[in-house]
């Protein structure tokens, strides 16, 4: 069973920065064979995929965060990160860490972290104007 625990959320003003972390536990002990990502759900907004990091380190971003957010992974620590800069009020949301085994990821799925099967419980990010 895959277990994900997010941390690092909080409240910031417009233009501020936050760094989210997610510790991932998997049956294989190492996360190297997992695609990992971040998704978010805002008030009265649909679930949105934010960023994905593939097993080979390739990264994908939604247009709404490209150039402002950076996703990274540390396989040795079983942890992924989301560095968020130039935050805007529209970034306010619950942020979830997601995971999917590489053998279940198709080309259509690799850029869709909101479709991954394993989710954490989320961490709230609030950006005030």
Residue 76's SS3 state is helix
Quote the pLDDT of residue 45: 86
pLDDT tens digits, residue range 22-34? Answer: 999 999 889 999 9
Whole-number Å distance between alpha carbons of 76 and 54: 15
Residue 52's SS3 state is strand
Quote the pLDDT of residue 62: 97
Whole-number Å distance between alpha carbons of 86 and 93: 15
Nearest to 96 by CA among 24, 13, 16, 11: 24
Show the low-confidence residues of the chain (pLDDT under 50): none
Quote the pLDDT of residue 2: 96
């Amino acid at each position: 069973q895959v277990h994900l625990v997010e941390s690092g959320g909080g409240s910031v003003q417009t233009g501020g920065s936050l760094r989210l972390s997610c510790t991932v536990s998997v049956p294989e002990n190492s996360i190297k064979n997992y695609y990992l990502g971040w998704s978010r759900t805002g008030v009265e907004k649909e679930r949105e995929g934010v960023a994905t990091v593939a097993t080979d380190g390739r990264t994908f971003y939604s247009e709404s965060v490209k150039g402002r957010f950076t996703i990274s992974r540390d396989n040795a620590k079983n942890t992924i990160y989301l560095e968020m800069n130039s935050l805007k009020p529209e970034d306010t949301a619950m942020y979830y860490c997601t995971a999917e085994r590489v053998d279940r990821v198709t080309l259509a799925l690799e850029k869709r972290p909101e479709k991954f099967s394993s989710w954490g419980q989320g961490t709230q990010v609030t950006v005030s104007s």
